[in-house]
Chains A and B, each alone.
Chain A
């Protein structure tokens, strides 16, 4: 898998993982997404995206943190990798570079 493109949804997920820092696992990512964007992806869609991200090398995962409501099953926690970070900033640069070219857009505000 040498595809290193980031899909729109993937990019969001990756951003949330970065934001959540050490507490990023599927359910918390899902909640954060809902709060930030109002989207509520299904568990299947979440894991599908997480798997893709992991295959592309943008995130790492480790298991742990079994809880009662999970029936004693472990969680899979995700961390953003260096490649993930650089992909995010590349995306960011691309967008901010492009947005400057649009007449009448204030580049100093908007994206932060």
Chain B
């Protein structure tokens, strides 16, 4: 990836920003891959590793806006409009739908 990135201090980094370059610690060990989307837990872990600056993709330096759950759900219902929730013969599509809803609505998933 050769897209431009800018250095942002850890304090100013926000979840949803994307790394424009691979991130290494001072021993050269890879901490995060290029293209990684930052999360709260990653930022906390980077602070523990003493990382000061982050290479953030320029066009993604603004954090991803918070999702609107109602609109997201409406769109998912539209995309899955042929799937009936209580059609047990079509259970695989139903599971895929639940997983994609968890993903898009950023629900916590217990593993």
Q: Are A and B bound to each other?
A: no
* B→A interface (CB under 8 Å): none
